Each structure stands twice: as structure tokens, then as C-alpha cells.
């Protein structure tokens, strides 16, 4: 039984060809790694810029609609900015309240279940309803 070796048309003819393609792949890999490092280090600058672009793109239709009604864009932008600043604390407080309610519910269901009066637990309510 004789082993057959498959021939490939693109097989490198010399070792130098292998090193050349390996050097290209290493160069691309190091470029990608350095790009990631640059983006990580520029994060304090890039995040606000990206957020401003997203918010500006989202609110641009409102500014254009106001401009059609002869309201200056700077005034519309100021009003929208003040509205966002006024709405931010409300959003944060609602999120905090939701998280707090979830934590209390989990606490009452897990650890404090034995500390509650029997009538407050599910088993106690079932027992109280069965006697009624």
C-alpha cells in the first residue's frame, strides 16, 4: 500500500515564501493589537464624542422640524439639552427604585422567609384559607 502525496498549486516553493507570508500576518496582527490599545487609551475622548454623535443623530429630526416652524436650531438644541438634563435624575431614580424593589423581593423570598409571620408566607396563607 503506497501513500500518495497530494500536490497543491499554491504550495510555497521555498522557505522564504513561508516567512514572507508569516511576516505579513504578524504585521496585520500587531496592527490590530495596537489599534485596540489606542482605542482603549483614547476612550476618555472617544466615548463622549461617540455619545454626542448618537444623540445628535437621534435628535436631528426634531431640530429640523423646529427649523421648519422658524425656531432657531440653537434654541431647539438648548431646550432639548435642558429637557435631557431635567429627565436624567428621574430616570436614575426610577432605575434605582426598580433595583431596590428587586433586591427586597429576593431578600424576602430567600433569607427572611423564616423571619416573617406565618400568615405572610405562601404556606401560611394556604393554611389560613383552608380553615376559612
pLDDT at 70: 94
DSSP 8-state class, residue 83: H
How many Å apart are CA 79 and CA 89, to the nearest integer? Answer: 17
pLDDT at 83 over 80: yes
Distance of CA 64 to the CA centre of its chain: 29
Question: Which of these ranges, 16-25, 50-59, 72-81, 113-122, has the smallest mean pLDDT?
Answer: 113-122
pLDDT at 54 over 60: yes
User: Cell 423581593 sits at which residue?
Assistant: 105
Nine cell digits for residue 129: 384559607
Nine cell digits for residue 79: 431646550
Amino acid at each position: 500500500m503506497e501513500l500518495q502525496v497530494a500536490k497543491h498549486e499554491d504550495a510555497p516553493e521555498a522557505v522564504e515564501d513561508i516567512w514572507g507570508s508569516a511576516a505579513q500576518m504578524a504585521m496585520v496582527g500587531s496592527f490590530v493589537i495596537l489599534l485596540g490599545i489606542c482605542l482603549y487609551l483614547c476612550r476618555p475622548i472617544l466615548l463622549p464624542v461617540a455619545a454626542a454623535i448618537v444623540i445628535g443623530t437621534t435628535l436631528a429630526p426634531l431640530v429640523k422640524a423646529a427649523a421648519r416652524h422658524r425656531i432657531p436650531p440653537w434654541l431647539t438644541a438648548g431646550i432639548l439639552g435642558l429637557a435631557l438634563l431635567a429627565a436624567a435624575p428621574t430616570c436614575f431614580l426610577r432605575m434605582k427604585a426598580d433595583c431596590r424593589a428587586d433586591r427586597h423581593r429576593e431578600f424576602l423570598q430567600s433569607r427572611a422567609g423564616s423571619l416573617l409571620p406565618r400568615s405572610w408566607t405562601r404556606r401560611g396563607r394556604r393554611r389560613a384559607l383552608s380553615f376559612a
